[in-house]
Structure 1
Amino acid sequence: MRIAMINGSPKLGKSNSSILLTALEGLISNEHEIARYSLNKRPLTPEQYSELCRMDTLILAFPLYVDGIPSHLFRMLVALEEYMKSERQHDIYVYVMVNNGFYEGKQNHIAIEIIKNWCARSGLHFGQAVGQGAGEMMGLIEKIPLGHGPLKNLGNAMLALADNIQTHSSGESVLINPNFPRFAWRFMGTHSFWNATAKKNGLKRKDILRRNIN
C-alpha cells in the first residue's frame, strides 16, 4: 500500500503534527510504502499533486486554527481536489490527526467535519480521525511511550487508527483528552509555555496580562 503522510503544520521546526506522524509511522508495518509531504516551507508542486492522486491512503496531520484548518492546508486541499477529480484512477482513503491547544479533544470536531466534506467533494473515502486535546504537551512528553501515562488515550486511539489504515477500514472518529489532570495541564501551560515563551521574547508576565484601552 502506498501511504502519503501530509504534515499540515505551518511550523518550520519540529511540530506536534510531525511528532504524531512519527509515532503513527512506528505503528504501521514495513511492508507499506510511506512518503512524507510537508507544507511548512513551500507549496506542493504539480508533480507532487499528481503523486498524491496515485496514493492508496492519505494521512493528514495538522493543528486546529480557530476551530478549523490552517489556511495554507486549506489552499492545498482546494488545489488537490481538482487534481483528484481529473487524475485519480482508484479508491483513496483519508485518515486525519488533529491536535489543539485546548484541553478538550472535542474542540477538533468542526475541523474533522471540514475534512469529511472535502473528501465527499473530491470523491475520496473518509476513514477515521483522531482529535487530540492539549496538543502543546506533545513536545514535552514525546519520550513517554504511547499508551502509557498521559498518552494512554492517545496510544489506544492511534493503535486503532493504524489498524484501520492498514486494512482500509473505517471507524468512528475519536476525540480524546490527555490522561492528565486539567488543573495540572493549565498550570504547566501557563508556567512552562506562555511565561517561558514571553521571557524568551523579552517580555514579562505583566506584559501578557496588559490590556491596551483606547
Structure 2
Amino acid sequence: MKIAMINGSPKLGKNSSSILLRILETLIPDEHEIAHYALNKKDLTPEQYSELCRMDTLVLAFPLYVDGIPSHLFRMLVGLEEYLKAERQNDIYVYVMVNNGFFEGKQNHIAIDIIKNWCLRSGLHFGHAIGQGAGEMMEYIEKVPLGHGPLKNLGSAMTTLANHIHSHSSGESILISPNFPRFAWRFAATHTFWNAKAKKNGLKKKDILRRL
C-alpha cells in the first residue's frame, strides 16, 4: 500500500503535526510504502499532486485554526480535488490527525467534518480521525512513551488509527484530551508557552491581555 503522510502545519521546524506523524509511522507495518509531504514552505508541485492521485491512503495531520483548517491546507485540498477528478484511478482512503491548543479534543470536530465533506466532493473514502486536545504539549512530552502517562489516551487512539490504515477500513472519530489535569495544563500553557512566546517577541504579559 502507498501511504502519503501530509504535514499541514504552517510552522517551520518541529511542530506537533510532525511529531504525531512520526509516532504514527512507527505503528504502521514495514510492508507499506510511505511518502512524506510538508506544506509549510511552498505549494505542492504539479508532479506532487499527481503522485497523491496514485496513493492508496492519505494521512492529513494539521493544527486547528479558528475551529477549521489552516488556509494553506485548504488551498492544497482545493487544488488536489481538481487533480483527483482528472487522474485518480483507484480507491483512496483519507485519515486525519487534528490537534488544538485547547484542552478538549472535542474542539476539533468541525475541522474533521470539513475533511469529511471534502472527501465526498473529491470521491474519496473518509476512514478515521483523531482529534487531540492540548496539542502544544507534544513538543514538551514527546519523549514520554506512547500509551503512558499523559499520552495514555493518545496511545490507544493512534493504535486504532494505525490498524484502520493497515486494513484500509473506517471507524468512528476519536476525540481525546490528554491524561493530565486541566488546571495543570492551563497553568503550564500560560507560563511556559504563551508568556514565554510573548517575552521572546519583546512583549509583556500586559500586552497579551490588552484589548485593541
Say whether the fold is shared (TM-score over 0.5): yes
Which position in structure 1 is the counterpart of 2:157?
157
Q: d(CA) in 1 for partners of 2:158 and 2:184? A: 24
1:202 aligns with 2:187: no
Q: Which amino acid aligns with 1:85?
A: K
- Which secondary structure state, in structure 1, belongs to the residue aligned with residue 42 of structure 2? coil
Q: Which amino acid aligns with 1:144?
A: V
> Which residues of structure 2 form unaligned runs of 5+?
none
- Which secondary structure state, in structure 2, belongs to the residue aligned with residue 26 of structure 1? helix
Q: d(CA) in 2 for partners of 1:64 and 1:211? A: 24
- Structure 1 consecutive aligned stretches of length 4 or more whose deviation exceeds 6 Å: none
Could you tell me the TM-score, scaled by structure 1's length?
0.98
Q: d(CA) in 2 for partners of 1:61 and 1:148? A: 22
RMSD (Å), alpha carbons: 0.7
Which position in structure 1 is the counterpart of 2:170?
170
Q: Which amino acid aligns with 2:162?
A: A
How many pairs are equivalent?
212
Q: Which amino acid aligns with 1:76?
A: M
Q: C-alpha deviations, 1:28-62, integer Å up to 9, x for none?
A: 11111000000000100000000000000000000
1:92 aligns with 2:92: yes
Which position in structure 2 is the counterpart of 1:146?
146
Which position in structure 1 is the counterpart of 2:106?
106
Post-superposition shift, 1:210? 2.5
1:5 aligns with 2:8: no
Q: Which amino acid aligns with 1:143?
A: K
Post-superposition shift, 1:7? 0.3
Q: d(CA) in 2 for partners of 1:50 and 1:191? A: 45
1:118 aligns with 2:118: yes
